[in-house]
Structure formats: C-alpha cells, structure tokens
Chains A and B, each alone.
Chain A
Amino acid sequence: MLHYRTFMIAAVAAASLPFAAANAQSDGSIITLGAAVSLTGKYTTNGEHTKRGYDLAVKKINEAGGVTVGDETYKIEIKYYDDESTPARGAELAERLIQQDGIKFMLGPYSSGMTKAIAPVTEEHGVPMVEANGASRSLFTNNWKYLFATLSTSEQYLTGAITLVAKNADDLGKEPEEIKVAMAFENDPFSQDVREGVLDDMKEYGMEAVIDDQLPRELNDMTATLTKVKALKPDLLIVSGHSKGAATAIRQINELKVNFPVLAMTHCDSADIIGKFGDGAEHTLCATQWAPTMSYSDELFGSAQDFAKLFEETYGYAPPYQAAESAAAVQVYADAFERAGELDSKKVRDALAATDMMTFYGPIKFDQAGKNIAKPMALYQVLDGEYKVVWPSGVADTEAVVPRPST
C-alpha cells in the first residue's frame, strides 16, 4: 500500500513537472531568457562563442546588481537547448522554450539557417527575440515585429573588401571594372547570403566573377577551386565557409603557393588563423562585426578592450566578434527591460524597438525591420601577426595593404 502511495505521489509530481516549469519563471526575482544554440554538430565552435558571449554578459549584469524593472530588481538567467547545428531542431526547440518552459524572451541561435527556422515561431507566439548571429538579409524582409538583430546583415560583410579593392585598383594596374573576382562560398544559408551581397557590390563597380564555386559543407579539401584560381589569375579571392572554410583555405593557399593580389574571407578570428598559420595568414582581409581595438565603450563592460580582456581571462582566448555581438544582445535586453518598466512581452518588444544605446560592441539602434543600422561592418587585415581594422576609415587603425606584396 505504501508503495502504491509513494508511486502515486511520484506520478503526480512527475505529471505536474511541466506545469511547475512553466510557472517557475514568474516567481522569485529572475528573468529567464531562452536560447537554442549549437553545442554539438558542425557549428559547435561558433555556438560556443555565442553561448559564452551570452553567459559573460549575464554574469556581468548580475554582478552589477541585476536589472531594475519597475520597483523590483531581477537577476537574469538563460535556459539553453542544443540545436545540434541542424535547423530541423530549431523551430521545435523554440516552441519548447516558449510553451513548455514558459520563456517570454528569446535570444538568438548561431547561424542564419537556425534563425530562419526559429524566427517564425517567436513571431507567431509574440515573443521577442534579440539575435546576434543570424545575418541573412531575408530575415528582415518579412515584416516581422518581434525580431531584432544586433549585428550588421550579411550583404555588408564583404562590402569593405570590394570597396578597398576598387579604391586600390590603380595599384593592381587596372580599372575597377576590369577586376576579376574569384568566389568560393560554402553551400549553406549564411555563406550564400554573403555571396549575394558580394555580387551586388561587384555589380556596382562592374567587376567580373571568374570563379563562382560552392564548397561542400563537409569541406576537407579545396584544391579544385584553388587550381582554378591558379589558372584564371583573379585579382581577388573571396572565401566564406565558417571556421573550417577559413582554416582550409589559408592552409591550402599556402601549401599550393597560389598567388593572387587580395584574399578576403569571413570567420578569420573564430578560426584563429593567426594562431594556426602565423605568417601564412598575413595580409588576409577579414570581415568582422567588431574589433577589440574599436573605441566603443559602455558602463557595464567598459571599453571594447576591457571586454576583450575580461573574455580572455574568463575563457582563455581572445573574443571573436560572435561572442561580442552575443553579449551585446543580452545588454540590449537588460536595457529594454528597464525602459519597459514591466515584463510584458508586448511592452518589452516596444522598448526593444525604441532601443538607442551605446555598448562596448558599438551603437545599437534598430530600424523598422529590426536590424541594427547604427553600427557599421568592419574589415580586419592581418598585419604583422595582428588583426588591424582597416575599414571603414572612421574606425580604422591603419591603412590597408592592398594588394599584398607578392612573395
């Protein structure tokens, strides 16, 4: 009998678990944000950068006393799920966070594909989502009201590289419209969006694409593309394929000694190309959302440099921009909570839309569609084994070396 009763109690307790979880978030003085990030699978590296950015911001905010909403102070917590780098999980995990865990405020996942899967769900449920890693332009052409992004969208990623090459066309001995571009983009939503942007920019200067290869997702070798580069002698090679694309490209360009004037790519810092290849990475142009040397600052983290230092102390490596933009997303929320004065999804959404703040990561102000229009995209160049911002001129540390001196 006793067993039976214990069993019943356990059963009832188990049955009420989901409901308990749903209620947990309103009691106490904790605001729980929800996020599905890639802890496993092919985006692990960047999923981790994202999560660490979020965590660091949460830690800092809580240490500073939390968020004051109305008369109460709240600590922030994040509920994570692992999307395994597959968009097939994205929508489901978002629903789970919203419906089962009662999450009222979402942070974004890593990568455009995942964000594409999640955004319709948050929109449908009227749950705001501040994302930091879904750069695809198409996310912001749907008239969505609850999606906000701290980052610059994908079409701007390599505008700087094209502009710089066009500006220095003389040094290449050519007119801008004579410049030949070779493109190697991974066949995934993010990289393909970057490619669209690059094509638009090229059209502006009348540049010609001589190679337009799409790299497989399980990329381990790109000799076929590089051989083509050798044969067609483009002036500019653009590579985008998350971290492994960057690492593979630099490695094989050096190995095969492929010579061409300008190399531009994405994800340099998250692939740590300087640490891995040293001289081999020299003169590479890299798209970046943010750099530690930039002169932005806020009260929470201090300057960009301070953030970088803190991040390095905590996690043992220099923060890639993925971490910075993610941390900023949490700051955006904290700011919006305080301005909203209550924790109502709709109110917070309106407060988010009215965001106009300065962070260590840069200014943040959303346009109608929800993307951050205040902060420009920047471009690094690897010079003497260090990332130096070379574009746009307003935030540049130094002049870009284009074309790179031939070796």
Chain B
Amino acid sequence: MLDNIEILVQAPVITLDLVLNGLLLGAIFALAAYGMALVWGVMNIINIAQGEFVILGGYVAVVMAAYGIHPLIAVPVAALLLYAIGWALYRTVIFRIVDRDLFTSILATFGISIVLQQLMNTIFGGNVRIADAGLGTVFLMNGMVSLAQVKLLAFALAAVLGSTLVVFLKRSRLGQAIRATAQHPRAARVLGIDTDRVYAATYGLNAAICGACGALVAMAYTVHPYIGLPYTIRSFMIVVVAGLGNLAGVIAAGLGLGAAENVAGFVFGTQYQLAFVFLLLVVVLVWRNRRLARKRGYLK
C-alpha cells in the first residue's frame, strides 16, 4: 500500500491518469444514478433493477453492432426501447407499489432484476459481449495519460443527456408535472395532474436513461447478463451520498466516486475497491445520522 502511494507521489501524472479515467467511468455511473435519483425522488422507489436496465441497453447496442449498425445509433434506440419496457413494467407491477414503503420497492424491484437477468441469459446467452465503436485513444503528457475516445464520447454524451434532462425537467410541461408530483403528489393531483401518467413517464424515463447508458457501457466496457449489480450499487451509493432532489449533486458525486474508487483501487489494491465503496456508504450514512442526532439534541 505504501509503495503504491510512493508511486503516486513520484509520478503525479499517474494520479492524473487515474483520476481522469475514474471521471470517465464515473460519468456512466452518474447517468445511471441520475435515473435512480429521479425515480427515488419522484416515486419514492429504490429501483434495484437499475443495473439490469443498463445491461439491457447494452445488449441493444451489441445486437445492432452484430447487424453491422454502428453502436452509436444504438444509444437513442436503446433509450426508446427501454422507455417502452420501463413503461410496461410500471403498468404491470410498479404502479402497485408506488405508495408503499421503500422496503417493498427494494424487494419487488429485486425480484424484477433477477427475472430480467435470467431472461437476458436465455435470450442473449451467457457470453461476455461487446459492441465495437471502432474509435481510438487520446494521449496526453507523453502518453502517460491515455483516454479512450469511446469513453470520452460516453462522457460527452452523458453530459449532453444530463443537461438535456435538467432542461427538460425545468422547462417542459411533463417535466414540470414530474417536479410538481415529486414535491407533493396530492396537491399535484388536486391541480389536475394525472400523477399516474407522470409516474409511468418517470419510470420509463429512468429506464430510457439506463438504456442509453448501457449502450455506452457496451461500447466502452463489457456486458454480461449478470454484471448489472455494479451499476445498481454504484448508482444507489451515489444517490445516497448526494441526497435526493439535488441533481447537480448526483452528477458531482458520480464523477467523484468514479475517481475516488479508481485511486482507492490503486492504493489499497483492487480487491478492496468495492468494499471501499460500501464502507464509504456506511460512513456517509452514519455521519449524516450523527449530524441529525446532534440537531435533534438541540431541539430537546
């Protein structure tokens, strides 16, 4: 561990490489987390099937690439398809658990996630798949920092998607309805907003974001029916750290987590990378609870 820190001290450029590559990965997590925050904030549902949506989106890109269509085109296609799937899932299952507690939603979406995993395994087979976008690599600092173009592209697309979403939520009619429902569902209903439709759209939108994100994952990383979990847990982690209703915070936390994780993986060894993420989660929660408790103390 100490040797690893020594390397970083001696060659700070490596830290830069780690941080930049971490940021690029973080952008993907941030995107998925963004969708999770949306669903969590608006519908009070923790969507454990998030990672499976991502992987499904990835398979759209894989299948299209197999037919010779450039996987970039798969990004919007995956988003559309996943929107439909998300919408259908809402209409069959999710609408029944909207008013229930978080615990119910965790269990129910966990059930959905294993069904999706299994179906993907049956349909696409258990192989590790990729979609090749045929892009190169950018080198900086004498080749000490290398950034895959595909990841840069994913980063850019994530940024574009993210900002489009912010604008969409701020400006569009549906976006305003979504925000209104998030603030106060009953009041929104009184004001004539069809909250059921809003929920369906929100859940679909989340799936669409994941779908687009997944297409990027297939281009930059690998997909596999059972590899959804890292995306679920990271988005979950990011949302918890950033808090709800704070979309800028989600993005920042996503990028930060990507970078922190990469550096931690380098320093502590990759075997502790995931443990690091989770302990961070627990620490953040405990710390937040302490702060809350102190506040409660003042009130007493």
A/B contact in complex, CB under 8 angstroms: yes
Interface hit among A163-171, A216-224, A383-391: A216-224
Q: Which residue of A lies closest to B231 (CB)?
A: A220
What CA separation (Å) do A230 and B225 show in the bound complex? 31
Contact residues of A between 33 and 54, Cβ < 8 Å to B: 40-42, 44-45, 47-48
Residue A271 at the B interface, CB < 8 A? Answer: yes
| Contact status of A44 and B14, CB under 8 A, knowing A218-B274, A220-B230, A243-B128 | no
A256: which B residues are within 8 A, CB to CB?
21, 137, 146, 148
A257 near B224: Cβ-Cβ < 8 Å: no
B130 near A276: Cβ-Cβ < 8 Å: yes
Residue A214 at the B interface, CB < 8 A? Answer: yes
What CA separation (Å) do A228 and B21 show in the bound complex? 13
Contact residues of B between 99 and 151, Cβ < 8 Å to A: 117-118, 121, 125-128, 130, 132, 137, 139, 143-144, 146, 148, 150-151
What CA separation (Å) do A251 and B118 show in the bound complex? 26
What CA separation (Å) do A225 and B222 show in the bound complex? 17
What CA separation (Å) do A395 and B166 show in the bound complex? 62
Contact residues of B between 214 and 242, Cβ < 8 Å to A: 217, 221-222, 224-227, 229-230
What CA separation (Å) do A232 and B6 show in the bound complex? 12
What CA separation (Å) do A54 and B126 show in the bound complex? 18
Q: Which residue of B lies closest to A212 (CB)?
A: B269
B139: which A residues are within 8 A, CB to CB?
257
B14 near A227: Cβ-Cβ < 8 Å: yes
What CA separation (Å) do A244 and B217 show in the bound complex? 14
Contact residues of A between 270 and 290, Cβ < 8 Å to B: 271-272, 276
Q: Which residue of B lies closest to A184 (CB)?
A: B270
B227 near A218: Cβ-Cβ < 8 Å: yes
A244 near B18: Cβ-Cβ < 8 Å: no
Partner of B18, one of A40, A218, A227, A243: A227
B148 near A215: Cβ-Cβ < 8 Å: no
Residue A231 at the B interface, CB < 8 A? Answer: yes
B127 near A45: Cβ-Cβ < 8 Å: yes
A215: which B residues are within 8 A, CB to CB?
270-271
Residue A255 at the B interface, CB < 8 A? Answer: yes
Interface residues of A, count at CB 8 A = 39
| A232 → chain B closest CB, angstroms | 7
B246: which A residues are within 8 A, CB to CB?
none
What CA separation (Å) do A222 and B7 show in the bound complex? 18
Contact residues of A between 310 and 336, Cβ < 8 Å to B: none
Residue B11 at the A interface, CB < 8 A? Answer: yes
What CA separation (Å) do A213 and B221 show in the bound complex? 20
A220 near B127: Cβ-Cβ < 8 Å: no
Interface residues of B, count at CB 8 A = 44
B44: which A residues are within 8 A, CB to CB?
none
Residue A402 at the B interface, CB < 8 A? Answer: no
A244 near B227: Cβ-Cβ < 8 Å: yes
As a 0/1 sequence over residues 8 to 45 of chain B, the CB contacts with chain A under 8 angstroms (1 = contact) are 00010010011001100100000000000000000000
Contact residues of A between 174 and 221, Cβ < 8 Å to B: 184, 187, 212-216, 218, 220-221
What CA separation (Å) do A226 and B151 show in the bound complex? 16
Contact residues of B between 255 and 282, Cβ < 8 Å to A: 262-263, 265-266, 269-271, 273-274
| Contact status of A224 and B265, CB under 8 A, knowing A231-B7, A232-B7 | yes
| A28 → chain B closest CB, angstroms | 32
| Contact status of A214 and B271, CB under 8 A, knowing A227-B17, A231-B14, A256-B137 | yes
Residue B4 at the A interface, CB < 8 A? Answer: yes
What CA separation (Å) do A255 and B152 show in the bound complex? 12
A251 near B262: Cβ-Cβ < 8 Å: no
A247 near B270: Cβ-Cβ < 8 Å: no
Residue A62 at the B interface, CB < 8 A? Answer: no
| Contact status of A251 and B222, CB under 8 A, knowing A231-B7, A243-B127 | yes
B143: which A residues are within 8 A, CB to CB?
257
Partner of B266, one of A187, A227, A258: A227
Residue A345 at the B interface, CB < 8 A? Answer: no
| B257 → chain A closest CB, angstroms | 12
Q: Which residue of A lies closest to B24 (CB)?
A: A223
Partner of A255, one of B22, B121, B137, B226: B137
A230: which B residues are within 8 A, CB to CB?
14, 17, 144, 146
| Contact status of A248 and B221, CB under 8 A, knowing A257-B137, A257-B143 | yes
What CA separation (Å) do A317 and B129 show in the bound complex? 15
What CA separation (Å) do A212 and B270 show in the bound complex? 9
B274 near A216: Cβ-Cβ < 8 Å: yes
B229 near A218: Cβ-Cβ < 8 Å: yes
A220 near B266: Cβ-Cβ < 8 Å: no
Q: Which residue of A lies closest to B226 (CB)?
A: A42
18 contacts across the A-B interface (CB closer than 8 A) = A40-B117, A44-B126, A44-B226, A48-B125, A85-B226, A187-B271, A213-B269, A216-B273, A224-B18, A227-B17, A230-B144, A244-B224, A248-B221, A248-B222, A251-B221, A255-B150, A256-B148, A271-B127
Closest 3 CB pairs of A and B: A44-B126, A224-B265, A214-B271
Point out residues on B near A: beta carbons under 8 Å: 4, 7, 11, 14, 17-18, 21-22, 25, 117-118, 121, 125-128, 130, 132, 137, 139, 143-144, 146, 148, 150-151, 217, 221-222, 224-227, 229-230, 262-263, 265-266, 269-271, 273-274
